[in-house]
Amino acid sequence: MPELESIIRRLAALGHRTTPSRAAVIAAVLAQGGHFSVDDILRTARNVGRATVFRTMRLLTDLDILCRVLLEDGSLHYRVSRRGDHHHHLVCVSCGNVRDLEDCAVSDLVRDLAAATDYDIEGHWLEFYGRCASCRSPMAAGP
């Protein structure tokens, strides 16, 4: 799990100055458990302007420090990336648990699509939705 100091060091190494407001956003991000929305960060880092929150979240996402998770209801959430590079998610629609997947399952498809369409493909989005094992267990079924 990345720490505030190590993230600030990493930003500095890439030429990004960490202002107190930006540090407050990063601290707010690290204080969240699991996945969270921009609104959660706006609530936690109350003294920081909206634009700074959005810009900092964008920067952290571009650097793969945060990953974006599209929930089944269409809302966009963020979480601290455990992988630090491109990956996809498995989302439990019952408890909201999110798992990072190891490999990009569609890299062959992207390559074939680029060849077939003469597109320079810059990105794609793929999340999997389902029910995790503990949500499916009889104990979790309830009365």
Residues at the interface with Zn ion (CB under 5 A)? 67, 92, 94-95, 97, 100, 104, 132, 135
Nearer to Zn ion among residue 40 and residue 100 (C-beta):
100
Minimum distance of Zn ion from residue 95's CB (angstroms)? 3
Minimum distance of Zn ion from residue 90's CB (angstroms)? 10
Nearer to Zn ion among residue 12 and residue 109 (C-beta):
109
Nearer to Zn ion among residue 4 and residue 135 (C-beta):
135
Minimum distance of Zn ion from residue 71's CB (angstroms)? 13
Minimum distance of Zn ion from residue 47's CB (angstroms)? 28
Reading across the β-sheet that carries 127-130, which strands appear in turn? Answer: 98-100, 89-92, 127-130
Report whether 135 contacts 124 (CB < 8 A). no
User: What is the DSSP track for 8-59?
Assistant: HHHHHHTT----HHHHHHHHHHHHS-S-B-HHHHHHHSTTS-HHHHHHHHHH
